[in-house]
Amino acid sequence: MPAEPHADATFALDVTIDRTIRTPLHAQISEPLAALILEGTLPPGTRLEDELSMARRLQVSRPTARQALQHLVDRGLLTRRRGVGTVVAPPHVHRPMELTSLLADLTAAGHTPSTTLLDYDEHPASPEEADRLETREGQPVVTFTRIRAADDEPVAIMHNLLPASVAPAREDLETAGLYELLRTSGIVPTTARQVIGARNATTKEADLLHERRRAALLTATRTTYDHTGRVVEFGDHIYRASRYSFETTLFTG
């Protein structure tokens, strides 16, 4: 078993390729790497040698080395970023399907969350926005878009629509979760209607989330109500499927 690498070192897998067995060559590379990552020998942020160097050293073709690394990227164990290379990914984010903010869930799970506010706009509600908030067209509403990161790795792009009367100030959105801010102002979210889906990332979304073009994304739209049945928030969020999953508990009837 190799020693844990230094944070600034490039890790090179020490493995002997056996061409006499039925296990594919790429799997003889990816599976030992996966084991080292999952057991913590290779901590998050560890940089791996590039596929060309790996291919030469292990005496396999470059496509074989590329396939081995890409398999681990698809499993969410590695990330590949231009200018940085291939690095061990942070732990996967598992989120319970409850009426909580992503920031609170990340903190509770032991991650260090951070938020970047991309835009914030107050304007009269369009017909579509009024329909989503179950209000009248032209009523003042606020929209904003944020990137939420866990341990400095982006995991979600969140677009929210709220009545202007309950919307938090823009300067508060980078330091606290939306539901926390609503509760602080006396608005208590009590129920929500949520739809989970999936699609591929656009070029812009992939760039913001440090993903490859057309990477798989999880989607969630959520309409949230207070105790009076008033809509207090509509959220349209996307999440990196390689770094994020939802968890739910089912009960038999």
pLDDT 10s digits, 124-177: 999 999 999 999 999 999 999 999 988 888 989 999 999 999 999 999 998 888
Q: How far apart are CA 135 and CA 236, in angstroms?
A: 18
Q: What is the mean pLDDT of the chain?
A: 85
3-class secondary-structure state, position 25: helix
What pLDDT is attached to residue 128? 94
Characterize the bridge pairing of strands 93-96 and 113-124: unpaired
22-27: Cβ within 8 A, 24+ apart: 25/60, 25/64, 25/68, 26/64, 26/65, 26/67, 26/68, 26/71, 27/68, 27/71
What pLDDT is attached to residue 92? 58
State the burial class of residue 210 (Cβ atoms within 10 Å of its Cβ: 0-12, 13-18, 19+). buried
Model pTM score? 0.61
Kindly give the confidence (pLDDT) of every residue in the chain, 253 residues in length, as a single tens digit, with 9 standing for 90 and above: 444 444 457 899 999 999 999 888 999 999 899 889 888 899 888 999 999 999 999 999 999 999 999 888 877 788 887 777 899 887 655 454 445 666 666 676 677 888 999 999 999 999 999 999 999 999 999 999 999 988 888 989 999 999 999 999 999 998 888 988 998 899 988 888 888 898 999 999 999 998 888 888 989 899 998 888 899 999 999 998 876 665 554 444 4
**Domains in the chain, please, with CATH?**
10-88 (1.10.10.10), 93-247 (3.40.1410.10)
